[in-house]
Structure 1
Amino acid sequence: MKCWSSLILLVTLLATAVLAQRRHPQSPPDVLRIGVLRKPETCKGKVAKGTEVTVHYKAYRWDDEHPFDSTYDEGRTAIKFKQGDKSVIPGLDLGIEGMCIGEARRLLIPANLAYGEMGLPGTIEAGTHLMYEVELIHSTTTFTNPWFWAGLAVLVSMYLIFDRMAKNVEASKAANFIEKKQESKQTTTSSEGIVEPSDKKND
């Protein structure tokens, strides 16, 4: 009896170990599920909507242990896209949100967040659930984009130039106004100092 109990326990442990090594559970997901494979000690370049990212990935059909697409293959490079611009499948787009540079995730993607009922002709059948292993290589937010700061510097410079020009124009107008005021005052003073001849007074 003890022998059978030990054997059953051993089989259970082996089965648990095998299942733990599987990339995905037996049941396909009905919603996007995210698992963290690797997390960096410090989070840099966190992904948010509008972030430009560079990622490596391996893409699997749900029932296949071999990737149908991988950027790690020879001759391939990591892909670049902007999070939220719908240039990749929704599951991948949503699955990288909040990732840090150097982080790796496993995304269990239901068909409606993959290629849906249309599939990908010649590659992915309609209604196929997918699994992605994705690694964030680089991300550029608005505030870390050098072009943002270059554009901001140009705008600030233009503002300062136009502000100085406007102040110069106002100063010039003020100077002209004061000058005309002084000329008017001098003319009035000169007029008050003129004395008419006595014969004209008698007339």
Structure 2
Amino acid sequence: MTLRPSLPPLHMLLLLLLSAAVCGTETGFETESPVRTLQVETLVEPPEPCAEPAAFGDTLHIHYTGSLVDGRIIDTSLTRDPLVIELGQKQVIPGLEQSLLDMCVGEKRRAIIPSHLAYGKRGFPPSVPGNLTRLECSGAISAHSSQVAGITGTCHHAQLIFLF
């Protein structure tokens, strides 16, 4: 007499694959799926045609507030001078820099930034844990380009809000 398994081998394989898919995270469940690509959404279009979108080499003055999903503020420039960055110089996280490219005066955007374009596996202890599934940022450029002391260049002012 030969014993046969109650399920054919193909069904056993499918059951195993399904179990692996369900238990793919440490807890078996994920409240938010991780973001893999930068997602930028325009919330408010610029009030007029954009003559000078933000580009590499432009200087930006950024006001921002950074907070965790639970609402805890981890950083803000609203109580001090704006952060001044030059696009392309890697002075801020890559996802933020990429989300500011081509932004125009008066435009407001929201960006969802994946971990690898934010603080990665290490995070920014103690305020920002590593391997965040996403970082959200919204902001607006609020001033026209300018020439300072005879040096030609574009200077955009932005106000940004980050949610980690």
Does residue 130 in structure 1 map to residue 155 in structure 2?
no
User: Is the partner of 1:115 in helix, strand or coil?
Assistant: coil
Task: Name the structure 1 match of 2:45.
Answer: 39
Alignment of 1:81 with 2:89, yes or no, is no
- Confirm or deny: 8 A CA contact 1:40 1:103 kept in the other structure: yes
Distance 1:71 1:133, change over 3 A: farther
Asked which structure has the greater RCO (Cα within 8 Å, sep 6+), the reply is 2
User: 1:45: how far off?
Assistant: 3.5
| 1:66-105 deviation digits (Å, cap 9, x = unpaired) | 5433333xx2332211011100000100000000112221
Unaligned runs of 5+ in 1: 1-24, 150-203
Q: Which amino acid aligns with 1:130?
A: L
Q: In proportion to residue count, which structure has more strand? A: 2
Please, what TM-score do these two structures have when normalized by structure 2?
0.62
Q: Which has the larger radius of gyration?
A: 1
Higher helix share: 1
Q: How many residues in Structure 1 have an aligned counterpart in Structure 2?
A: 120
Q: Distance in 2 between matches of 1:147 and 1:52?
A: 15
SS of the counterpart of 1:58?
strand
Give how far 1:125 is off. 0.8
- Which secondary structure state, in structure 1, belongs to the residue aligned with residue 66 of structure 2? strand
Residue 64 (structure 2) aligns with: 57
TM-score relative to the length of structure 1: 0.51
Secondary structure in 1 aligned to 2:151? helix
CA shift in 2, pair 1:44/1:66, >3 Å: farther
Q: CA RMSD in A?
A: 2.4
| 1:55 Cα offset (Å) | 2.1
Does the CA-based 8 Å contact 2:47-2:106 persist in structure 1? no
